[in-house]
Amino acid sequence: MISTVVGLNWGDEGKGRMVDYLAADADIVGRYHGGSNAGHTIQLDEGRFTLHSLPSSVFRPGVRNVLGPGMTVDLDGLLAEIDLVTRHGVDPSGILLSGNASICFPFHRDLDAHEETRLGRNQYGSTKMGISPAYGDRVMKKTLLVRELFETRQLASRLSAVVEWANVRLEKIYGEPGWDLRDAERWAADVRERIEPYLSDTTAVLTQAEQADASVLAEGQLGALRDIYFGIYPLSTSSICLAAHAPVGLGVPWARVRHTVGVTKAFSSCVGAGPFVTEFDDERAAFLRDRWGEFGATTNRPRRLGHFDAVATCYGVVMQGADEVAVTNLDQLSGTGELKICTGYRIDGRVTPDFTPSVAALSEAEPCYETFAGWDADITGIRTYDNLPKQARAYLEAIEALLRVPVTYVSVGAHRDALVIR
């Protein structure tokens, strides 16, 4: 059985800090989709760390950290992350990379960036880390799996075909230089040597863990509203962000999801293009963004900010099958004055409490709000729910009532211990 930690919104919900906390009781933690296009940030005594490919549990001693076959892996980025955490005391032998994960090549980043440029004003807001073309190539059978780097008899012909397909697009569509096959061969030989210690059959590892009744935690990337099937398409990511996909993406499709923690911020934030119904005006967003440090963990792009959107978050709860919720960043609301929660959308003159992933409908939607008193007290040192200001408790309880799922965790600071557990 697998437990999951997943995002209920657009991403940037604070999943990394929740995975890091819950990993204290886990035997294995695994990433089951996505790649280096999002960053999960954790704050430790040793400093602040942003992880893009490694599970957020990597600083927990004794935990095995799996990168599953559902991922597309930037091997250069992964190796740099491994070097970083190793320098800070992590034993890298606990890092296990599935041979069935697909490779996000350097040229995938180029393709991603060139396509965003081509789209101009209609671009998707990609992080330009190569995720979309890498997943597209996997579906089209035009990339390599990690294990193919070690299948040396076939590697030359396979790599040649992959580079040829990349160059057709780089040269013919975008008018850019292609990738030299000799450079590709040297790159492949270099990363093969360095990645070999981490190569693993994650299906065998997780099967044995399941038989031993070990605790397995799956870490989701981004959130339900960015899911390729149920998110705000096409302004989505290119992988399946939902908890139901965790067994497949980890390599044990017969396993079941036992428990899901859905993560949401105490307000709304979003990186990238598309409709954002509760968005603050530019002046308020700029002021709070600078005060809160709300910039994307991967690109450092300014996050768009807004009031808490219960309509979108309820949709996330349902899509993720969440049975409890973690509300993060509550401390950032201290001293910001009156608070609002969106409880419905007005579309074509009618109010609905139901979310739609339609870009057309969301672009026309107007938020309907309930207003709540704010609080001024610094809450970062509070560790028990009853000690929170009564206004903060009223705000959280309103969120809980709207989501119809218990709010079990409330983060009141960036550090892993700055957490109130109900």
Active-site residues, by number, are 12, 40
> Are the C-beta atoms of 227 and 240 separated by less than 8 Å?
yes
DSSP state of 173: I
* Helix, strand and coil in the chain, % to nearest 5: 40, 25, 35
DSSP state of 278: T
- Of 130, 184, 195, 193, nearest to 157 by C-alpha is 184
Which residue in the block uniquely carries the two structure tokens 């035009």?
142
Alpha carbons 292 and 349: distance in angstroms, whole number: 35
Alpha carbons 319 and 298: distance in angstroms, whole number: 25
- Of 341, 333, 338, 346, nearest to 380 by C-alpha is 333
- Of 234, 239, 340, 237, nearest to 280 by C-alpha is 340
Helix (H) or strand (E) holding 335: none
DSSP state of 71: B
Alpha carbons 192 and 102: distance in angstroms, whole number: 14
